[in-house]
Structure 1
Amino acid sequence: MPNFNRTAAAATAAALALTVLTALPAAAASKGPTWTACQGKTDPRQQCATVTVPLDYDDPDGEQITLVISRIPAANPGLRHGVLLTIPGGPGGTGLDIPTSAAKRLPQSVLDRYDLVGFDPRGVGRSTPVSCGLDTADLAMVKLRPWPAADGSIDGNVATARRLAETCARNGGPVLRSISTPNEARDIDRIRQALGERRLSAWGTSYGTYAGAVYATMFPRQTDRIVLDSNDDPDPSKVERGWLANYGPGAEDRFPDFARWAAAPGNPDRVADTPEEVRPLFLDLAARLDRAPLPWPGANPAELNGNVLRETMLESLYADAKFPDLARLMLAGLGRRPLPAAAPLPEPVAQAVQNTVAVSVGTLCNDVTWPADPAAYAKDVAAERAARPLTAGMPVNVMPCAFWPFAPAEPPVRVTDRGPANILLAQNLRDPATPYRGALKLREALSDRARMVTVDSGGHDVYVANGNPCGDAVVTDFLVTGRRPADDTYCPAG
């Protein structure tokens, strides 16, 4: 799913035949990466290395770019099964330090058996990074996500999308134009080769589920145990455009969880007496702030308006721990609390946002062709606003890809069931970003290659993220033994 804010908040041939790539030269493949200490505050066991990959896979001996990878070796070499590659979300999310964070959450049985390997994908972070060089005002989430004007007009969104497309096309260079999900899959296989692994296990989350599914489609014989967690709809006619649209039903699925929490007795951030009151209160407040924004010095934009509230709502639905962010902003908008202090992004964070935005734009626009007619977007927005007022038409609105000057280098990969039966999908029932209905589309595309464990939970991310012992046990057993459930599995709440 397109999600600029994960780094910002701190921070995809139709029916493609199996791709045959030029192998690495024998000397390069046998040498392996040179591991050194990682920069930053990471687990002391985490090491880093570089892998070179072609800028253009049609010219494998031409210009090369760098991927930075990391690993924490298996804790018990006698039980080692292989590599578990963590595929980050986004698109545009950094993955270099995922081994450090995953090592704190994964069960010992998994840590004993796998080298945890992370990487910054092409263009991200330390891997030959890209930037669009956008103005600070265009880094605001209410600009990056296309929230319509208070009256439903999309004229401002069209202007922003056109400006972002022109700026990224001008400043991003050849690396940005090379970013795509098929190329990420090819890069992943180069990482596998560099590590000297015959087959690769992987754990992909969010956008990483699509990248993982594309890898498993393009390189089925190189896959071992594949976990896809919080799953994107792989529809090759839409790809990321479909993921953006899924925010509408996703928010509707998830908002009742927030409403129950926000009306719970004893909650210091309680906004209403009953859950039934929370939705109309939110909608009325957003409409009021559309008409009369509140000054918010230091924020970007420097006001609390209806779309800032809606954006905060969407971000807060990702995890229960973020519910207070929305409740407190609602209370401030209602005049019951002061607005929280706001300050400009520190320069390192602003640079990370620039990087994430550039990779997101590159992936979204290079994976698939988007419609170009603003009038069609305006029609869709009007219908969406009436059907799903929580998200006010944003999920079907215009994006920079409508004005992207470069055609995709290849058609989107059509995910299919051709390959070994070695994939497990993990999915929350009420995920605001990658909703259950989209996960069912990936499950259908993979057919008997996959099983799915569905958890009665809300929010984004499943495995060792939501405290559901049943769902965690199913995934752990698959990673440790290779056994999938005989059938799709449902795990109740708790």
Structure 2
Amino acid sequence: MYSHRRTSAAVLGALLLTPAVLAGCTSTGDDEPTASSSAPATTAAPEAQPIDWSDCSEQIDPIIEGRPGSDRDLSFECGTTDVPVSYDDPEGGTLQLVLVRAVLAGQTDRIGSLQVNPGGPGQSATDAAVQAALTLPTDVLARFDVVGVDPRGVGLSTPVECISAEQKDELFAEDPRALDETSLEESFGRVDAAAEGCAEKYGAALGAFSTVDAARDMDLVRQSLDDEQLTYLGYSYGTTLGSAYAELFPDRVRALVLDGAVDPDAGRQERAEAQAQAFEAVFDAFAANCTGLMGGCPLGGDPRGFLNDRLAQAAADPVPSSRAGETREATPGLVLNAVRSALYQPSAWPQLAQALASAGEGDSAGVLTLADTYTGRTDDGTYTNVIDAMVAVTCADTDEEFTREQVQELAADWNGKYPLFGADAARGLYTCTAWEAPRTPLPARDAEGSAPILVIGTRGDPVTPAGGAVDMATQLLSGTLLTWEGNGHTAYPKTDCVTGAVNAYLIDLAVPADGTTCPA
């Protein structure tokens, strides 16, 4: 998976799909976009459409009850608006976007809307808006409405859905470190089958889910919200979306916070290798933390060795689960997805240690819970559309392709260099080779003429290594770099130093000195 921001509100996506909330919040248009018609393209700029808002506090309040921040006096609205399927033909078909707006009671000196995106690509921004309302500093909420817009194809916004739950179960269960010819051919075949199914369902319309078009959507939403300029908080892939917006509309930027920046200079191979290397380093940090516990580490004195034993065990005899109704057993792929899931945030490290220890005793329930959090699998065996959307957006954004032979060579090489995560990172490079869709590669992003943009990197980020933030802040002509010396994916609002700097920037447009570092 490319990158996303895990939050305690992950369940909100499923709950927002209940019929009661759909009555006020869901798309009422066609389920699938269609390819652009043969009508001649026009250069006329599309007009922003009004947002059809309805109060959905009664539906969201029970979902967040008891969560930290739920005692805040918040109100929620759900809304829909239409955008063109193709900006080359804005008078052609439309697709519907779904929004959530959170407002703190008693706002004073309101500045406008703060659009948020949690990353992925494929993570729900409507979920993120609810979570942000619970966790962002009240100083920010007192000045901004928080707005989450599920990007086209994501969440509730005309979601792309074309990979079956059975296909996902098979893809995630396979052993990513099995590099024999038979295992690789089976893996490539699964990817081919998923791509063929999506091409059959959507055809050329798969190309409509590009980041460039999602950024254009953001500007129409900005206009519909009556904001003169955009104020934006983007995490992980959300930094790609935000920087694309700044490139397209530099004069419409008020303030952009790009936290956990994806390297704009790196190709897919370079990013995949950097991520594999970073995950290895963060696993070592997890292991050191575990062995340093006063009560002792449940994985013993060698957590990496313990994990390797569990992977070998799962390959020979997958581990059953005590979870009621669970028919799956933990394979090496599911074990590694559980590890990857927990390495996103140090707060999940104790859960990982206990899950692996339990797997060593023959119960994979904890492993499956962590793995499902990562892949978007729900308790009833269905999945959110995060994987479908991630692939659709990622592949619409690039024209890079890798042959099976190239992937096989890289997997063998990286398996030696990065023994837990390298082979899996290399195998993922084949996905967009199989994907049949028009491409809109991301532009170079210098955002000439933009207001100052704040770029944040975290030294121990396994998903978007800190070097990506350095490159993004350098490439953006108005970019300013802020680095947190901590561990985990993204930084705001986890520490007072980062929080203070970001708050001052969002509210007062006070930009920290370029290169500022915050301690762990």
Moved more, 94-103 or 203-212: 94-103
Q: Partner amino acid for 1:293?
A: P
Moved more, 260-269 or 470-479: 260-269
Name the SS of the counterpart of 1:246 in structure 2: helix
Is 1:449 equivalent to 2:464 in the alignment? Answer: no
- Larger RCO: 1 or 2 (CA < 8 Å, sep 6+): 1
Is 1:359 equivalent to 2:389 in the alignment? Answer: yes
TM-score under structure 1 length normalisation = 0.86
Q: Counterpart in 1 of 2:2?
A: 2
- Counterparts of 1:357 and 1:433 in 2: how far apart (Å)? 16
Against the structure 1 CA distance between its residues 236 and 300, is the aligned structure 2 distance closer, same or farther, given a 3 Å change threshold? farther
- Counterparts of 2:175 and 2:80 in 1: how far apart (Å)? 36
- Counterparts of 1:196 and 1:443 in 2: how far apart (Å)? 29
- Counterparts of 2:94 and 2:192 in 1: how far apart (Å)? 31
- What is the aligned counterpart of 1:331 among 338, 347, 357? 357
* Cα RMSD (Å): 3.1
Q: Counterpart in 1 of 2:51?
A: 33
Contact 1:217 1:418 in 2 (8 A): yes
Identical amino acids, percent of aligned pairs = 29
Q: Partner amino acid for 1:46?
A: F
- Counterparts of 1:290 and 1:352 in 2: how far apart (Å)? 24
Q: Counterpart in 1 of 2:505?
A: 478
Is 1:469 equivalent to 2:496 in the alignment? Answer: yes
Contact 1:74 1:80 in 2 (8 A): no
Q: Counterpart in 1 of 2:36?
A: none
CA displacement 1:210-253 (0-9 Å, x = unmatched): 11111111111111110011111113743xx5544332112123
Is 1:304 equivalent to 2:291 in the alignment? Answer: no
TM superposition shift of 1:258:
0.8
Q: Counterpart in 2 of 1:228?
A: 258
Q: Partner amino acid for 1:473?
A: G
TM superposition shift of 1:296:
4.2
Q: Counterpart in 2 of 1:61?
A: 91
Against the structure 1 CA distance between its residues 181 and 316, is the aligned structure 2 distance closer, same or farther, given a 3 Å change threshold? same
- What is the aligned counterpart of 1:254 among 257, 272, 282? 282
- Counterparts of 1:69 and 1:349 in 2: how far apart (Å)? 26
- Number of positions where the alignment pairs a residue of Structure 1 with one of Structure 2: 469
Name the SS of the counterpart of 2:52 in structure 1: coil
Q: Partner amino acid for 1:213?
A: S
Against the structure 1 CA distance between its residues 209 and 4, is the aligned structure 2 distance closer, same or farther, given a 3 Å change threshold? closer
TM superposition shift of 1:21:
7.3
- Counterparts of 1:33 and 1:9 in 2: how far apart (Å)? 25
- Counterparts of 2:44 and 2:108 in 1: how far apart (Å)? 33
Q: Counterpart in 2 of 1:270?
A: 298
Against the structure 1 CA distance between its residues 350 and 359, is the aligned structure 2 distance closer, same or farther, given a 3 Å change threshold? farther
Contact 1:4 1:357 in 2 (8 A): no
1:98-109 alignment, distance < 5 Å: 98-109=128-139
TM superposition shift of 1:326:
2.4
TM superposition shift of 1:207:
0.8
TM superposition shift of 1:190:
0.9
Contact 1:2 1:91 in 2 (8 A): yes
1:290-301 alignment, distance < 5 Å: 290-296=315-321
Contact 2:472 2:479 in 1 (8 A): no
Q: Counterpart in 2 of 1:285?
A: 310
- Counterparts of 1:257 and 1:348 in 2: how far apart (Å)? 31
- What is the aligned counterpart of 1:160 among 167, 190, 200? 190
Contact 2:191 2:431 in 1 (8 A): yes
- Counterparts of 2:108 and 2:319 in 1: how far apart (Å)? 61
- Counterparts of 2:153 and 2:337 in 1: how far apart (Å)? 26
TM superposition shift of 1:99:
2.6
Contact 1:179 1:362 in 2 (8 A): yes
- What is the aligned counterpart of 1:111 among 123, 129, 141? 141
Is 1:130 equivalent to 2:180 in the alignment? Answer: no
- Counterparts of 1:351 and 1:63 in 2: how far apart (Å)? 30
Against the structure 1 CA distance between its residues 122 and 412, is the aligned structure 2 distance closer, same or farther, given a 3 Å change threshold? same
- Counterparts of 2:448 and 2:175 in 1: how far apart (Å)? 37
Moved more, 215-224 or 37-46: 37-46
Contact 1:74 1:112 in 2 (8 A): yes
Is 1:492 equivalent to 2:519 in the alignment? Answer: yes
- Counterparts of 1:37 and 1:369 in 2: how far apart (Å)? 42
TM superposition shift of 1:192:
0.8
Q: Partner amino acid for 1:490?
A: T
- Counterparts of 2:198 and 2:283 in 1: how far apart (Å)? 34
TM superposition shift of 1:427:
1.9
Against the structure 1 CA distance between its residues 417 and 60, is the aligned structure 2 distance closer, same or farther, given a 3 Å change threshold? closer
TM superposition shift of 1:317:
0.2
Against the structure 1 CA distance between its residues 92 and 333, is the aligned structure 2 distance closer, same or farther, given a 3 Å change threshold? same
- What is the aligned counterpart of 1:423 among 437, 453, 456? 453
- Counterparts of 2:322 and 2:242 in 1: how far apart (Å)? 42
- Counterparts of 2:190 and 2:322 in 1: how far apart (Å)? 23
Q: Counterpart in 2 of 1:407?
A: 438
Q: Partner amino acid for 1:34?
A: D
Q: Counterpart in 2 of 1:179?
A: 209
TM superposition shift of 1:101:
1.6
Q: Partner amino acid for 1:38?
A: C
- Counterparts of 2:390 and 2:327 in 1: how far apart (Å)? 21
